[in-house]
């Protein structure tokens, strides 16, 4: 399907192929979230999927491709959950609040998804020295936050600040949650989200004579 031996014009991924790929990705996510990226060997992933390691390499050109697809799948799932909620917002301030809440909600609803991706991203670099995660695929959240922040700055809702720094800080604050949740599964994520919303609302909003509370 993707290796050069197969016909390059992938005609129609068969049902079984789609199912297998999805199953393997799911098992990879679980393995990485539970064992950590370094310990998540193909053998471990295959074991969870109840197949041989050969199957994984039949459907994915190599471990790197599997990992890339894991990331892509997690991002797509997150985007599907988050984007519609954010798009309904009328103000940048509300959109920011909503984006943060939805992001934390994604962590809460799919802790393994976010946990796996964090493990991958933070595990560092691959042999070639290139970052294991393409900036391209890593960007969606950055892009989303950046556009909200620029929207708010343009409209005067937000004070002037370096958008890049703010984006990075917000994203990292969210990325810090999965490991904390793994360490303490009882963590109150609703409260965590409220704190982050308040934090970044204060950090971003413009100084106005009459600025009401966010809620």
Q: Which is nearer to DNA, 124 or 155 (CB)?
A: 124
Q: How does DSSP classify residue 131?
A: B
Using the Cα atoms of residue 139, residue 131, residue 78 and residue 158 in order, give the sign of their dihedral: negative
Q: For the CB of residue 119, give the shortest distance to DNA in the complex, in Å.
A: 13
d(CA 70, CA 90): 33
Which candidate, 147, 135, 1, places its Cα nearest to that of 75? 135
Q: Which is nearer to its own copies, 88 or 215 (CB)?
A: 215
Q: How does DSSP classify residue 125?
A: B
Residue pair 117/70 in contact (Cβ under 8 Å)? The answer is: yes
d(CA 74, CA 28): 11
Q: How does DSSP classify residue 8?
A: S
Q: For the CB of residue 184, give the shortest distance to its own copies in the complex, in Å.
A: 10
Q: Which does residue 184 touch among its own copies, DNA, none (CB within 5 to 8 A, set by kind)?
A: none
Q: In 10 A of CB 158, how many CB atoms? A: 23
Q: Which is nearer to its own copies, 7 or 186 (CB)?
A: 7
Q: Which is nearer to its own copies, 87 or 182 (CB)?
A: 182
Q: For the CB of residue 114, give the shortest distance to its own copies in the complex, in Å.
A: 14
Binding site for its own copies (CB under 8 A): 5-7, 34-39, 43-44, 46-47, 50, 119, 122-127, 129, 131, 161-162, 165-166, 168-169, 171-173, 175-176, 180, 183, 191-192, 195-196, 198-200, 202-203
Q: Which does residue 88 touch among its own copies, DNA, none (CB within 5 to 8 A, set by kind)?
A: none
Q: Which is nearer to DNA, 2 or 85 (CB)?
A: 2
Binding site for DNA (CB under 7 A): 1, 14, 16-17, 20, 39, 41-44, 50-55, 57-59, 62-64
Residue pair 39/52 in contact (Cβ under 8 Å)? The answer is: no
d(CA 177, CA 196): 11
DSSP SS3 for 205: strand
Q: Which does residue 47 touch among its own copies, DNA, none (CB within 5 to 8 A, set by kind)?
A: its own copies
Q: Which is nearer to DNA, 1 or 173 (CB)?
A: 1
């Amino acid at each position: 399907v993707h290796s050069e031996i197969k016909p390059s014009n992938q005609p129609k991924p068969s049902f079984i192929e789609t199912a297998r790929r999805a199953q393997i990705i799911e098992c990879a996510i679980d393995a990485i979230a539970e064992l950590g990226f370094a310990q998540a060997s193909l053998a471990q992933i295959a074991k969870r999927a109840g197949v041989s390691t050969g199957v994984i390499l039949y459907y994915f050109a190599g471990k790197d491709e599997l990992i890339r697809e894991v990331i892509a799948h997690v991002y797509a799932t997150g985007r599907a959950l988050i984007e519609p909620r954010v798009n309904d917002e009328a103000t940048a301030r509300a959109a920011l609040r909503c984006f943060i809440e939805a992001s934390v909600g994604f962590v809460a609803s799919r802790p393994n998804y976010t946990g796996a991706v964090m493990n991958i991203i933070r595990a560092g670099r691959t042999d070639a020295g290139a970052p294991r995660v393409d900036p391209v695929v890593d960007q969606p959240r950055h892009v989303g936050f950046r556009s909200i922040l620029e929207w708010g700055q343009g409209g005067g809702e937000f004070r002037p600040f370096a958008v890049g720094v703010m984006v990075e800080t917000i994203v990292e604050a969210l990325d810090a949650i999965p490991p904390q949740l793994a360490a303490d599964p009882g963590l109150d994520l609703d409260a965590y989200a409220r704190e982050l919303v308040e934090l970044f609302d204060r950090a971003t909003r413009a100084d106005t004579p009459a600025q009401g509370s966010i809620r």
